[in-house]
Each structure stands twice: as structure tokens, then as C-alpha cells.
Amino acid sequence: MNEAAARELIRDHFASGGKDEARASRIYADDAVLEFPQGGERIRGKANIQAMRTAYPARLDFENRRTIGGGDVWVNQYTIRYDGRPSHVVGIMEFRDGLVVREAIYVADSWEPPAWRAEWVEPIVPSVG
């Protein structure tokens, strides 16, 4: 997978997400599989992925902070705001023939840094509100 092509597809995917799900779904192959492992959920096919996202019962705003990877595997670290409430998200995209054939998405909230390890840790500004 050409890096510039992958990054452009990913950029457009996030620019469209939450606004134009047909356009956001262009990144997926027709037989793409999307998984939410935390819920044990698997969605098969671009059409179902698009239908699911179109039905999302909250207003979604995406902010992709970082895309890193190589070859056919690219990982996005981003923020989704569900009706304004932010969550950390990691999405692992696997490409084949220039399109995503498998994506696994993990969603995680912020938490307070544990006091017991504070002396070995530097505080940084959490990347999500």
C-alpha cells in the first residue's frame, strides 16, 4: 500500500465521518469487516458499515490526531466526540488492493493518573478533554 494513497484515503475518511457516511465509507472494500472487540461485535460488508454509521444515535465529531503504520497496516489515534463528549479511539486498518478489508476499533475514556506511580511518571496534557 502506497503511503501517500493510504494517508489520503484516511484523511478523507475522517473529514467525512459524522457528516457524509457514503463518502466516509469509500475507504472500505465491499467485503470489509469492521469489529468492535470490546462489544464482541462484527459488521460485515461496506453496505452494513455505512448503514450502521448512518443510524448512529448521536452526533459524532471526529478528530484524527495521528496516523502511523506501514505496508498494509495503518493505525489511527483519534478523538470521537459523542454529542460533544470525547473518547479516545484507536482504529487498526488493514488494507488490501488499496482499500480497507478489516478494521478493529477500540474506544476508551480518560482516567485519573494513579498516585502510586506518580514519582516515575511525567504528567502531560491528556490528548482528549
Partner 1 sequence: MPSPEPRAVFEAFLRAVNSRNEAALDALVHPDYLETHPQSGERTRGVENLRAIIEQYPGDYEDKGLHRVVGSEDRWVVTPAYTLLRIEGAGDTFTSVQQARYPDGSEWHVVSIGEIRDGRVWRVQTFFAPAFDPPAWRSSWVELIQPAEED
The footprint of partner 1 (CB under 8 A) covers: 35-44, 48-49, 51-52, 55-57, 68-73, 75, 77, 88, 90, 92, 94, 104, 106-114, 116-117, 119-128
Q: What are 31's strand-pairing partners?
A: none
Q: How far apart are the first and last CA of the chain?
A: 34
Nearer to partner 1, 14 or 95 (CB): 95
Nearer to partner 1, 19 or 108 (CB): 108
H-helix or E-strand containing 110? none
CB of 90 to partner 1, least distance (A): 5
Confirm if 38 and 106 have CB atoms less than 8 A apart: yes
Which residue's CB is nearer to partner 1, number 14 or number 78?
78
C-alpha to C-alpha distance for 50 and 47, rounded to whole angstroms: 5
CB of 69 to partner 1, least distance (A): 5
Q: How far is the CB of 71 from partner 1 (least distance, A)?
A: 3
Please name which of 113, 123, 98, 112 lies closest in space to residue 27, comparing C-alpha atoms: 98
